[in-house]
Structure formats: C-alpha cells, structure tokens
Copies of this chain bind each other. A is one copy, B any other.
Amino acid sequence: MTTIEKIAALRQEMRANGLSAYVVPGNDPHASEYMASHWCEMQWLSGFNGEAGTVVVTPDRALLWTDSRYYLQAGIELKDSGIELMRESDVDCPSVVDWLAENTRGLVGVNPEMFSVNDYKEWSEKIELKSMDLIKPLWTDGRPAIPQDKLYPYSADFAGETVESKLARMRNKLVALHGNAMIISALDEIAWLLNIRGNDVEYNPVVISYVVLEPDKCTLFVDSSKIDSPAQNYLDFNNIDIKPYESVFDYISSLSGTVLYDGARVNEALYEAIPADCKKINTKSPILIDKAKKNAVELEGERIAMRQDAAALTRFFKWLEEEAFKSPQTEWTLMEKLHEFRLMGENFVEESFGTIAGYLGNGAIVHYAATKEHCAEVKPEGMLLLDSGGQYLDGTTDITRTIWLGGRIPQQAKLDYTYVLKGHIALQTARFPRGTRGNQLDALAKQYMWEAGITYGHGTGHGVGHFLGCHEGPQNVRTDNNPTALEVGHIISDEPGIYRTGKWGIRTENLITVIPAKQTKATTTEDEWLSFETLTLCFYDTSLIEMSLMTEEEIDWLNAYHVRVYKEVAPLLNADEAKYLARKCAAIEL
C-alpha cells in the first residue's frame, strides 16, 4: 500500500467508528525513543523515517508534526504523500492537541498503549478521546513481530551494584511512599534495575518487558522464549518471578492497596488496568533518578569505553586522510569503515545509534541518515560531519567531530567552526553551584554564535546511559525548562552546532560528567560547587579554527586536552597510528 492508500483505508475505519480524527504518535508502549520496528506505526503510515513525529488524520486532511531536526528530511519524505508538515519547533506552530481542539469536533481515536498517562490526561482535558487501535487491523502485511532475542545477565563487575542492592534500595522508596506495588515499563529502567541486557531494540541493549515491584516480590513480564537456562538461573537466584509479557494487564488488574507509577513513562492502557479501588500515586520514577547518577564502577567503565572508541576514531581518521581516497568513497562506505574500526574494540557490542556521516550540505540536515542506496559521494575536499557512538559492555559513547577534508577553507566555515568550538569549550569548562539546571547553562554554549546572529534548533546536551540508552533523562541541557538539577555522576553530551543549508553542518560533541568542583579561595557562599570532567577522548580538527577568535584560556584548555588525548589513547595504537595522533594533537598557538 502507498501512504495515500493507507490513509484512505484508515479514513474508512474512522468513518466506521464515528471518529473525527485518529492520532498515530511515534511512540511504543514503553515510552522508548528507539523502538522495535513492530511499533513504528507512525513511520509505516506516513513514509517519514525520522525518529520523532505524530500523524493526525481527519476526514479531509493528514498532518505530521515533527521538530526542527527533521524539517528537511520530512520535507523530502512527505513529498507527494498528501501529508502536511507541521513544524513543531516554530513559535507559532500549535501543539497537536491544540490543533485538534481547534480543528475537529467529536471523538478522536488513539491507541492507549501508545500514550503516557500524563499525555492522555492532558489531552482529555481539551478533546474527547476514544481508545481503539485502528492500525493493527490495517498493518497486517509485513508487520515485524515483537523481537524474541535472548535476555542476558549483566555482571555487577560492570554495573557496580548487585540486583539485590538495587531492589532493596527501590523497595525502601516504595515502602517510604506507603506503596504496595510499583509499575515499571521503561525498558532502560528494567535493564538497570535487574542488571539484565538484551538485543530487542537496535542500538539499545534492552529487553522488551514490564516489571511490577512489590515489597516481597519482583515480577518480570517477558516472553519465555527470551529466557534460556543461564538467564532462568540468574533470575531465580535473584528471586525474580517470570510471567508472560502480555499478562501484565491481568496481573495489574489483580493488585490492591497503593500503586505507584510514573505517569510520564507508564502507558494509559496499563494505568486503566489498575483496579478502581486502588490508591494511585503518580510519582517520578525513583529508578530514573538513581540510574542517571553513575557510580564509580560505571564511570570507570565509561573511561575504558572512551579509550576504545577514541582508538577506533583515530584509526578511522588516519585511514580517511591517508588511504580512503585511493578508491571512491561515499557517506555509506565511511560509515561501514568506521564500524569496522569500532568492531576491533574490546567489549564493543554495537553502535549506540545510527552513524550520521553528513558530507557538505548533508551535514546541515540534523540527524541525517545516509543509506547504502541514498548517500553522497565523498571527495577529499570540503566539510564532513561525523556523529557516531558505540555500545561497549563498559559503557556508552557518543561523539561528533567535524573535519575539513581538503581544499581552501572558506572564512565563514572557520568562523562557524570556532563559534561552535568556543561554546563547546565554555560548557564543559563551566563551574556552577549545586542546584543548577541544565537549561541555565545552555546559553554558555550559544553565546558566541548568538553574538554573530546564529543559533541552532536542537538541544545542547542530552543525558547518556551506561551501556543503555544513548539518550536518557532526567537531566539535559536545552532551552526548554527542565526542573532537574545537574548532579554528581550525571553524564551529558555537549554538542552545539551551526547548520548552513546546502553548504555544511558543523557540530562538535563530547560526553562530560558532573563532578564536585575544586574549591577556590574566592568562594563567598556555602554553596557546593560542581564542574565537568570530559570523558570523550578525540582530537579536534585544528585547521578549522579561526585563531583570532580564541582566548588564551581556550587555547590552553584545548592544548591540555590534546595532551591528555594522546597520553590516554596512544597506548592502544601501533607506532604509525600513535605518530598520526601526535600530529593531530600538536599544540596550537595564537
């Protein structure tokens, strides 16, 4: 079926059910960002392959909301689909629900498994929702099954804490809130809590499952086909009961007393299964909060993973400079080559997201995804943006470097690169009092480009998991308000960018972790001070720096960073590679 045919079929179902609109959000039942393809209903219906979007279909219109990262991509992929693009990052763009309230009358159909409790409640205050799944009967041909990969235990040697300890900690919180049960549906929370990992979702080593935690038991709802004998032993040993995935609804409907759930992450269908006479407490997931604060073992693992990742990148950049262009290259062949180098790394499992190799103007398409079939040829000239990361048993990496492949560098390219670099340095060298939220620091990364009248639409920093989601909450650095204060052990990315449509994209990204700041003599208050440790270990392309914009402090920082990169990464390289790295890490001077 074409997109136009799918939408026509959906409209027929809508008419049969008396709906004035049907909404297909880009969600799964676990509030995942990356989803098993089984749940990619939004992409299936619209033909738009971005990672975020919501489709609304009414009798005479079809619309897709997505954010500024995907404007260009959606513009291309929605062509001839009859679907209008709603640019949701724009100030004057109505939210999906406000648009529905304004433009429709009557029932709006949604699948309650695809809505968080909070979103469902918020929407219900403005429009009349009707719970029904109209996609299931339509998407019969070729719909991927729910993955059936194996679950495996994740050693406390990597996790830094036993399941027993984590369960005891969470049960204490459950009891403190007088709760009889806590529903956990986010896959990364389940993986963290039970020290398990899996292969169900691309780039995310999670297991499709639910957990209900009670003071005296812990039940994992997961298909039995995923549990082999070692996994069974591990779960038995830790007193974790196993029940079928789909039986979670029945189980929840048999609960009594007080039930805790995080309305931002638990889906409406689970919520509706809670018996009416239970007391329901909507509380921010304590697992989410604790998971974000990495322990010493997790952080040490991150440092190990960063060295492996840096070795792979160094080998890749050396190959790109010295070998690659002896034969034709495309964005796709570069992605494949980088993957090969990462595969050489100890404990490498898979990429942590789809590599973005954006050559020239493709670099300006934020979250551009080249495919083998659709990718640009890369020549030894102009700008290349490379955003990639790895899942290692030791930890998760995410790094962006933008490099100049050859030819004369336009002055504007140097200016852009340097504004980005200055902001990137300003954020990771910031010192700030305890209690500071990420959005308070956002302008530090933007101030230099703002001065030149330039900004970007994506976040400056996202939280990063430990051998889990490359994006995780609750912390981040964005313009939007987020009440979460940065805390010791949080990992965030630091990735400002400048994008010139048709010309180039420049983004520079390190992962950084919050640490207690060194004391200074000047301190006037009793505030505790925090700062960042840079985790990522990869050189910057110094040929793109406009030195006249750099301060002495910035140059000192960059030189010291390059000294550290060489010291930590060279031991993993052979002599030739180390020599290459030494050259890339050479000190720069005003």
Contacts and interface: CB of A to CB of B under 8 A. Distances in A.
A522 B481 contact: no
Interface stretch (A13-21, A145-153, A255-263, A435-443): A435-443
Interface stretch (A108-116, A451-459, A562-570): A451-459
B415 A522 contact: yes
A520 B451 CA distance: 9
Interface in A515-529: 517, 519-520, 522-525, 527, 529
Nearest to A499: B524
Nearest to A483: B481
A479 B436 contact: yes
Interface string A401-445: 000000000001001100000000010001111111101111110
A517 B451 CA distance: 10
Contacts of A524: 454-455, 498-501
Nearest to A68: B525
A525 B529 CA distance: 36
Given A435-B91, A436-B479, A444-B443, A453 B500 contact: no
A32 to B, nearest CB: 27
A447 interface: yes
Interface in A206-246: none
Given A436-B479, A443-B443, A447-B430, A453 B91 contact: no
Interface in A548-578: 551
A319 interface: no
B442 A444 contact: no
Contact of A522 (B430, B439, B453): B453
A524 to B, nearest CB: 5
Contacts of A431: 450-451, 453
Nearest to A522: B452
Contacts of A443: 430, 432, 440-441, 443-444
Most B-side CB within 10 Å, residue of A432, A434, A523, A524: A524
B444 A447 contact: yes
A259 to B, nearest CB: 20
Contact of A452 (B440, B456, B520): B520
Contacts of A520: 452-453
B453 A519 contact: yes
Nearest to A91: B435
Contact of A517 (B444, B453, B519): B453
A200 B455 CA distance: 47
A517 B455 CA distance: 14
Contacts of A451: 430-431
Given A433-B455, A440-B443, A479-B436, A412 B450 contact: no
A311 to B, nearest CB: 33
Contact of A450 (B432, B442, B551): B432
A236 B456 CA distance: 54
Contacts of A415: 522
Nearest to A432: B450
B498 A453 contact: no
A529 B454 CA distance: 9
Contacts of A481: 437, 439, 481, 483
Contacts of A523: 452-454
A337 to B, nearest CB: 30
A564 B64 CA distance: 52
Contacts of A499: 524
A574 B433 CA distance: 48
B525 A454 contact: yes
A425 to B, nearest CB: 12
A499 B440 CA distance: 22
A441 B444 CA distance: 9
Contacts of A434: 91
A494 to B, nearest CB: 15
Interface string A60-81: 0000000000000000000000
A440 B525 contact: no
Contacts of A522: 412, 415-416, 452-454
15 contacts: A91-B435, A431-B453, A433-B450, A437-B481, A439-B439, A439-B481, A443-B444, A444-B444, A444-B447, A453-B519, A454-B522, A454-B524, A455-B525, A457-B525, A501-B524
Given A443-B444, A498-B524, 8 more contacts: A416-B522, A430-B443, A431-B453, A432-B450, A440-B440, A440-B442, A440-B443, A454-B524
Interface of A: 91, 412, 415-416, 426, 430-437, 439-444, 447, 450-457, 479, 481, 483, 498-501, 517, 519-520, 522-525, 527, 529, 551
